Chains A and B, each alone.
Chain A
Amino acid sequence: MSGKTLYDKIWDAHLVHEAEDGTSLLYIDRHLVHEVTSPQAFEGLRMTGRKVRAPAKTIAVPDHNVPTTAGREDPKNMTEDSAMQVAALDSNAKEFGIHYYPVSDVRQGIVHIVGPEQGWTLPGMTVVCGDSHTATHGAFGALAHGIGTSEVEHVLATQTLIQKKSKNMKVKITGKLRPGVTAKDITLSVIGKTGTAGGTGYVIEYCGEAIRDLSMEGRMTVCNMAIEGGARAGLIAPDEKTFAYVKGRPHAPKDDEFEAALEWWKTLHSDDDAHWDKVVTIAGEDIAPVVTWGTSPEDVLPITDLVPDPSSFEGGKVGAAQRSLDYMGLTPGQKLSDIQIDTVFIGSCTNGRIEDLRAAAAILKGKKVKEGMRAMVVPGSGLVRVQAEEEGLADIFREAGFDWRLAGCSMCLAMNPDQLAPGERCASTSNRNFEGRQGFKGRTHLMSPAMAAAAAVTGHLTDVREMI
């Protein structure tokens, strides 16, 4: 019998019940909740007279809808429907007795940044949230994935989820990254290679030297976009970096309990003889700074490349690529680095952490945003914002001409007023370039924070390696 993967080990440790056909009941250690996908679930509990089974394991924070401008503690400064959703989360958190970080709390932020920051996310846990980017928490070696609202209700009521086991996929990034290449370039390059459905039915484990070399924040960026490759979850085995990151966080175990946890955490890695259903290997040296050109996260190319010709694709992708180019207003053969932009967005659960802001600020220091451009930085949490101010990063952004905002999801999904106007083109550190994602008829190019900062300075997509 072959050994176990990390996914197998976490799965086995959380299996409550397994039926003959493999339908399983999995115990959930942490349930993260936000204002947009939870109101119907709480309403469902009320209608059936059910309670939250484990309020101490349930953590709520408003992030998707909230404005990122000053004065947002006052609901009058929110649109009526946003205020209603935030008010619903406020009252649901009180009524059901769950942990809650309101907008007035400095710890408020994007749910996937708050969880790790507060030590809610720990190795070996199962973590779910009504948000597909829950995959982020996989960076800790936690099995973490997005769920729908009916499943949110199911977890609230039972602290379990009905699941069938996924297959195991290994994504190995060997060797060292070249200068100017970041975690975002890794994760986009993987999707560029496997496609947005390449991971469907799998849980991915990222491994290899280039992954080991990443900081915890970089690892979160990689796992965050596992869902964009179709995988439910992305995992990275915990190591000394993970343990050091977790230690001392408010909700992490302390003293003897930490030592006991550590003993188990150290067993959380795939066995050498584990079985993999699919293996993808990419040499770290081959990864370049990349951007997306189309309306699917798989539309990835190195910044030095040209806009592709739709006829170079196969099957349904020919039509999809043509549709993408029409939507994006691009011509085949055009140099990617010639694409002019008018907006820059730095933030999101993919790239809204302190290291992301440092990377962007390093490019922007002493420079100005190209005239006529709109540029904004939205820190991933209130605490990231405070730290960036203390480190002088906020001043660098402001002096360069960036808008320095309050924490939230903001223009990543543009539910709040931070949106692109029709035809506007954005260099964005977020995770999705879908049609209309950042605003009706808005055009999105995904890239790393350093690349977005470089584009802000030049006004066009730019190879950041020319500026370092």
Chain B
Amino acid sequence: MEKFTKLTGIAAPMPLVNVDTDMIIPKQFMKTITREGLGVNLFDEMRYDREGNEIEDFLLNQPAYRKAQILVAGDNFGCGSSREHAPWALADFGIRCVISTSFADIFYNNCFKNGILPIGLPQEDVDKLTEYAERGANATVTVDLERQSITGPDGGEIRFEVDAFKKHCLLNGLDDIGLTMEKAASIDSFEAQAAEARPWV
């Protein structure tokens, strides 16, 4: 997994609430058997018309945001389907950080497996970042995972919380399957005990 340490980039404002993973990547693009190449279809039904032409006023089609790396989103971002194709599409497009007041649980976890940092903040901080993002390509934002801080174009700093284990994995690009396999002995002994206690499982 790609590490996430410090990112300075353009932030795109998407204040829509309840953006679901069907919106992020519609199902017709889930027929792939690889993780790559989904960026071009990120937000497909909002981004292109039926002929495949870009819809000019859609956020990520606007010149200022075509290279956005940070998304400042509305409440409950990533709700609905568990599809990991959503973070795959975001990452493939180049979005490495999503900021919102709240995230749906499965999407939130899926982000960390794909080098994307989801940051939950109080409404007033999200509002401030939305305001920065609305300035377009002239205003970059820096997200520092080690320090757990976001710095805006005016130098103001916003602190954020992140789970210590998830932070560790993201900073070091760790594959958590490898980490769990180091606990194989615990799994073995649990399995032996469980087979005794609940042999029908």
Residues of A within 8 A of B (CB): 13, 16-17, 19, 21, 23, 25, 27, 29, 36-37, 39-40, 43-44, 48, 50, 53, 57, 64-65, 79, 81-82, 84-85, 88, 122, 124-125, 130-132, 145-151, 153-154, 157-160, 162, 164, 196-197, 200-201, 227-228, 230, 232, 252-253, 257-258, 260-261, 264, 296, 298, 315-317, 319-320, 323, 413-415, 422, 432, 434-437, 440
Q: State whether the Cβ of B136 lies closer than 8 Å to any Cβ in chain A.
A: no
Q: Is the CB of B104 within 8 A of A200?
A: yes
Q: Which residues of A contact B27 (CB under 8 A)?
A: 413-415
Which of B23, B186, B201 has the most A CB atoms < 10 Å from its CB? B201
Q: Which residues of B contact A296 (CB under 8 A)?
A: 18, 20
Which of A25, A85, A196, A197 has the most B CB atoms < 10 Å from its CB? A197
Q: Is the CB of B80 within 8 A of A29?
A: no
Shortest distance between the CB of B161 and any CB in chain A (Å): 13
Q: Which residue of B lies closest to A199 (CB)?
A: B105
Q: Is the CB of B106 within 8 A of A147?
A: yes
Q: Is the CB of A132 within 8 A of B165?
A: no
Neighbour of B33 across the interface among A39, A232, A436, CB < 8 A: A39
Q: State whether the Cβ of B6 lies closer than 8 Å to any Cβ in chain A.
A: no
**Knowing A132-B80, A200-B76 touch, does A21 contact B22 (C-beta < 8 A)?**
no
Residues of B within 8 A of A (CB): 15-18, 20, 22-23, 26-28, 30-35, 45, 50, 74-76, 79-84, 87, 102-106, 109-110, 113-114, 163-165, 176-177, 180-181, 183-184, 186-187, 190-191, 194, 198-201
**Knowing A316-B17, A320-B18, A415-B27 touch, does A21 contact B109 (C-beta < 8 A)?**
no
Give Cα A159–Cα B159 distance, bound, in whole angstroms: 36
Shortest distance between the CB of A104 and any CB in chain B (Å): 21
Give Cα A82–Cα B29 distance, bound, in whole angstroms: 11
A-B CB contact pairs (8 Å), 8 listed: A13-B198, A39-B33, A43-B33, A197-B104, A260-B199, A264-B198, A316-B17, A435-B22
Neighbour of B105 across the interface among A57, A230, A260, CB < 8 A: A230
**Knowing A85-B33, A148-B110 touch, does A317 contact B80 (C-beta < 8 A)?**
no
Give Cα A37–Cα B106 distance, bound, in whole angstroms: 14
Q: Is the CB of B17 within 8 A of A415?
A: no
Give Cα A453–Cα B42 distance, bound, in whole angstroms: 36
Q: Which residues of B contact A82 (CB under 8 A)?
A: 31
Q: Is the CB of A122 within 8 A of B201?
A: yes
Q: Which residue of B lies closest to A432 (CB)?
A: B80
**Knowing A84-B33, A154-B176 touch, does A196 contact B198 (C-beta < 8 A)?**
no
Neighbour of A29 across the interface among B17, B177, B201, CB < 8 A: B201
Q: Is the CB of A150 within 8 A of B84?
A: yes
Shortest distance between the CB of A220 and any CB in chain B (Å): 18
Q: Is the CB of B177 within 8 A of A50?
A: yes
**Knowing A27-B194, A200-B102, A432-B22 touch, does A148 contact B80 (C-beta < 8 A)?**
no
Q: Which residues of A contact B34 (CB under 8 A)?
A: 39-40, 43
Q: Which residue of A lies closest to B36 (CB)?
A: A40
Give Cα A21–Cα B114 distance, bound, in whole angstroms: 22
Which of A21, A145, A230, A436 has the most B CB atoms < 10 Å from its CB? A436
